[in-house]
Amino acid sequence: MRCVVTGASGHVGSFLTRLLLKRGHEVLAVVRPTSDLWRLGDVLGRLSLAYAELEEVDRLVPQLCDFRPEVAFHLAWTGVTADYRNSEAQITTNLFGSLRFFQAVRVARCPVFVGLGSQAEFGLYDRALTEDLPVRPVTAYGVSKLSAGLLTAKLAEIAGLRHVWLRLVSTYGPKDDTRHLIPSVILQLLRGETPRLSPGEQLCDYLYVEDAVEALLSAATAKNASGVLVFGSGEAHSVREICEKLKDLVDPGATLAFGAEPYRSDQIMHLEADISRIRSVTGWSPRASLDEGLARTVAYYRAMEGES
């Protein structure tokens, strides 16, 4: 299977690229000209690269036509951290770029489009997220993700493409952005620092990254998969519990400063995916338990710290 992947140098994108290669698929990885490809260092010799900013990705049409992709995975997105959730680039870069990428793969006659959405499309809920919940995003990030999913779905319907939009709750694992909670706490503990945390009562559904990319591939290959699918681990754990587990893995005698930081003004207190639909449609289920995934993640960062 010939697969084009945007965002291939990112956290989830790099693991998806590696999984596709491992399964014997051909990959055309779309990356920005300035992207640091360190996450792909071990597989660069086994894939093809296409360089373009997301908002200019339509200039890759000739290369896409030559490649003749059978599946397009759209993961590229700029400004995913909290500081950029209401940036106008969510629209000018991400939304417009997503539409340009869709049109490019349509011209290349790609029959399947798989897009990575977000829990932010739903807005604020205090229950597990399901596909039939009303969407009411509260950030420009959520609005742009929702708009990209709706517009590419309509364009796919018009063009006769199969379209899958997977709303991800949250991932973690090796090679993650170190500004995110889990790697940030691990690295502080490894360095003998005391993480300053919120009270930690919020419930979060964290999916191990290798399970996340298995879900994406399953959605691409399950011919009856289409429309919106929600995915995560299907289990919610408190931030306090997660951080305590990290402390026990890194240094049981360390201190965690719960309550040293207030909750953000837009803090979501319950994030959880109901994964019954994606299970029934694709047969996918997470494999790594939270304890297994955290142990692997700590081992990765411990090894990285040992090398630095």
The range of the structural domain enclosing residue 68 comes to 2-171+207-231
Distance CA 167, CA 116 (A): 6
Q: Are residues 92 and 137 part of one domain?
A: yes
Distance CA 121, CA 144 (A): 8
For residues 118 and 168, the answer to whether their CB atoms sit within 8 Å is: yes
Residue 134 covered by a domain:
yes
Residue 124 covered by a domain:
yes
For residues 290 and 242, the answer to whether their CB atoms sit within 8 Å is: yes
- Neighbouring residues of 236: CB distance < 8 A, sequence distance ≥ 6: 128, 203, 204, 205, 270, 271, 272
Tokens of 250: 């890194």
Q: Are residues 74 and 200 part of one domain?
A: no
Q: State residue 308's pLDDT score.
A: 56
Q: Are residues 104 and 247 part of one domain?
A: no
Q: Are residues 111 and 15 part of one domain?
A: yes
Distance CA 262, CA 171 (A): 23
Q: Are residues 195 and 103 part of one domain?
A: no
Query: pTM value?
Result: 0.96
For residues 6 and 101, the answer to whether their CB atoms sit within 8 Å is: yes
Residue 239 covered by a domain:
yes
Tokens of 138: 């509260």
Beta strand segments in the chain, E = 2-6, 26-31, 48-51, 71-74, 112-118, 162-168, 171-172, 196-197, 203-204, 207-208, 227-231, 237-238, 257-258
Residue 282 covered by a domain:
no
pLDDT by residue for the chain (308 residues), tens only, comes to 999 999 999 999 999 999 999 999 999 999 999 999 999 999 999 999 999 999 999 999 999 999 999 999 999 998 877 777 888 989 999 999 999 999 999 999 999 999 999 999 999 999 999 999 999 999 999 999 999 999 999 999 999 999 999 999 999 999 999 999 999 999 999 999 999 999 999 999 999 999 999 999 999 999 999 999 999 999 999 999 999 999 999 999 999 999 999 998 888 899 999 999 999 999 999 999 999 999 999 999 999 988 65
CATH code of the domain covering residue 138: 3.40.50.720
Q: State residue 83's pLDDT score.
A: 76
Q: How many CA atoms lie within 13 A of 117 on its CB side?
A: 32
Q: Are residues 89 and 189 part of one domain?
A: no
Residue 281 covered by a domain:
no
The total number of structural domains that make up the chain: 2
Residue 279 covered by a domain:
no
Q: Are residues 218 and 200 part of one domain?
A: no
Strands across the sheet with 112-118, in order? 48-51, 26-31, 2-6, 71-74, 112-118, 162-168, 227-231
Q: Are residues 78 and 34 part of one domain?
A: yes
Q: Which uninterrupted H or E stretch holds 148?
A: helix 140-159
Q: Are residues 165 and 132 part of one domain?
A: yes
β-bridge mates for residue 162, sequence order? 112
Which of 172, 287, 305, 302 is CA-nearest to residue 239?
A: 172
Distance CA 115, CA 133 (A): 19
Q: State residue 306's pLDDT score.
A: 82
Residue 41 covered by a domain:
yes
- Neighbouring residues of 179: CB distance < 8 A, sequence distance ≥ 6: 81
Q: Are residues 73 and 13 part of one domain?
A: yes
Q: Are residues 118 and 62 part of one domain?
A: yes
Residue 280 covered by a domain:
no
Distance CA 5, CA 217 (A): 11
CATH code of the domain covering residue 251: 3.90.25.10
Q: Are residues 116 and 135 part of one domain?
A: yes
